[in-house]
Amino acid sequence: MIRLAAALLLGWPLAGVAGWQVLDESPEGMRLIDPSRVESRGGMLHFHERLVLHAGQTDPASLRPMREVLERRVLDCRTRRVGTVSRAVFSDQDALIEHRASKLRGSDWQALPDDDPRVRLLCRRS
């Protein structure tokens, strides 16, 4: 029983990430994508990205503890740019803190370096 409890406790930060692949880990948290849900549309790759945050981070507006950020993103492999179509920030017990969505044309685009893990993983597939 103690082993089972320890295994559950140690696995807790990754709970609910089955099927997700780790891209990188930083002091902020662990970034993952779901490779099974990558879609190619209009010459760009649409995918879901998840940031599982380390404990202790607080949303500045609501002062609630942040647990994870889920984003729908678009990657243009030709220009190595990524845009965010929607972003949702969650607190404990899946409480939604913030949600933003935009059309693809109005999304925030940022250039990515050649060695970005999203470029390496996703652009090889397309």
- The number of angstroms, rounded, from the C-alpha of 80 to the middle of its chain's C-alpha atoms is 18
The CATH class that applies to domain 31-122 reads mainly beta
From first to last of its 126 residues, the chain has per-residue pLDDT tens of: 333 333 333 333 444 556 899 999 999 899 999 988 999 998 899 999 999 998 888 888 888 899 999 999 999 999 999 999 999 999 988 889 989 888 877 777 899 998 899 999 898 765
Domain chopping of the chain, boundaries: 31-122
Give the CA count within 13 Å in the CB-facing half-sphere of 25: 6
> Regarding beta strands 68-76 and 81-90, do their DSSP bridges make them parallel or antiparallel, or are they unpaired?
antiparallel
Contacts for 47-50: CB closer than 8 Å, 24+ residues apart? 47/72, 47/73, 47/74, 47/75, 47/118, 47/122, 48/72, 48/73, 49/23, 49/73, 49/118, 50/17, 50/20
